[in-house]
Chain A
Amino acid sequence: MASQKIDVLPIAEILPKYPTIAWLIQKLKPWLLKKLLIVRPKKPGDAYTEQFSFPAAELVKNKAVLEGWIVIDLQANDASREKVTSAITEQKPSFVIQYDHGSTYVLWGQESNVLEPAIDLSNVSLISGRALSTVSCQTAAGLGPSAIAATARAYLGYDELHWVHLWHLAEFTEAANAANYALLEGKTFLEAYNIGYNKYTQKYNQLLPVNTVAASLMLHDRDHLTRLGDPSARAY
């Protein structure tokens, strides 16, 4: 069974021979601010989470560790409402990333191989003061505005269904991850949105001569990527 893990770069890899105060401050900053919670269910028999969202989130996690983030990774049945709640209240991440199913007012989690609401209107205040990005269906049309009303700093998601073509997983993963990589690098939500949008366009143009239907899904996902809240906000 997957478990909650905290991943950081090994200390020997980042410690110079003669650390200066400035260097120490710079390196300690992530410990104070760059804390990321990843929520990524993986429901047995569910193609979206098993084949697309779970592995896509793995790449995001690797990127986060490389960028110096402390990562709390709630996988599969550990992505339960209870564990999401305690991770946010106790670990206080500045940034929450969810890869899974979504519906208008619910970011879904998972417990005992069943999907369960992880964040919805009744606990959306958990996102207050934090930034959130989700690769899932529809939440930017409902939960997103509610999160912003509950003083979340910024929200990136989709205001419609998120479609994926399983024969072009690499392209869909790259497009879906682009904005999140940008946020992990410290870019603003506006910059990250633009990077994500442009990546979708690039992948659409690549797919168009090969597979019209896959291209149409890519275009749809691009046009429903939605940014809410402060455009100049960063993930930390």
Chain B
Amino acid sequence: MSEKSRPNYEEAVKKEFEITKQLALAEVREWIEKIPEEERDKPAIVVATKVFTPRQLVKEVEEDTEYGRRLVQMLTKVRLELAKKEG
């Protein structure tokens, strides 16, 4: 592989995180679509002194906030668990 075509490590990691985020985002969007419209602004998740509605949660993931990132990690873990069972 030539020096030019070799992927930059930092860029690759960034790109991989973006893939993970998009997978989680798809998961959260699929989740919110199953929730009736009138319930999407109801408090759903509580952590520390924070409360998130489903709509706020999607925003947290989209905007890559601390809690959004944590949710991405948690959903990734579920995907991993499911893959272990399917394997």
Chain A contacts to B: CB under 8 angstroms: 46-48, 51-52, 101, 137, 161-167, 208, 211-213, 215-217, 219-220, 223
Q: List 11 A-B contacts (CB under 8 A).
A: A47-B51, A51-B46, A137-B48, A161-B47, A163-B45, A164-B47, A166-B43, A167-B44, A213-B57, A216-B71, A216-B74
Size band of the interface chain B makes with A: 20 to 34
Q: Is the CB of B48 within 8 A of A217?
A: no
Residues of B3-44 at the interface with A, using a CB-CB cut-off of 8 Å, are 27-28, 30-31, 43-44
Q: Is the CB of B46 within 8 A of A164?
A: yes
CA distance A104 to B46 in the complex (A): 18
- Chain A nearest CB: distance from B68 CB in Å? 12
CA distance A212 to B70 in the complex (A): 15
Residue of A nearest to B67 (CB): A161
Of the candidates A48, A162, A163, A212, the one whose C-beta lies within 8 Å of that of B49 is A48
Known pairs A101-B48, A211-B31, A213-B28 / 5 extra A-B pairs, C-beta < 8 Å:
A46-B49, A166-B44, A166-B45, A208-B78, A212-B27
Q: Is the CB of A164 within 8 A of B45?
A: yes
Q: Is the CB of B78 within 8 A of A212?
A: yes
List of A residues within 8 angstroms of B44 by Cβ: 165-167
List of B residues within 8 angstroms of A167 by Cβ: 44
* B 50-87 binary contact with A (CB < 8 Å = 1; else 0): 01000001000000000000110011011001000000
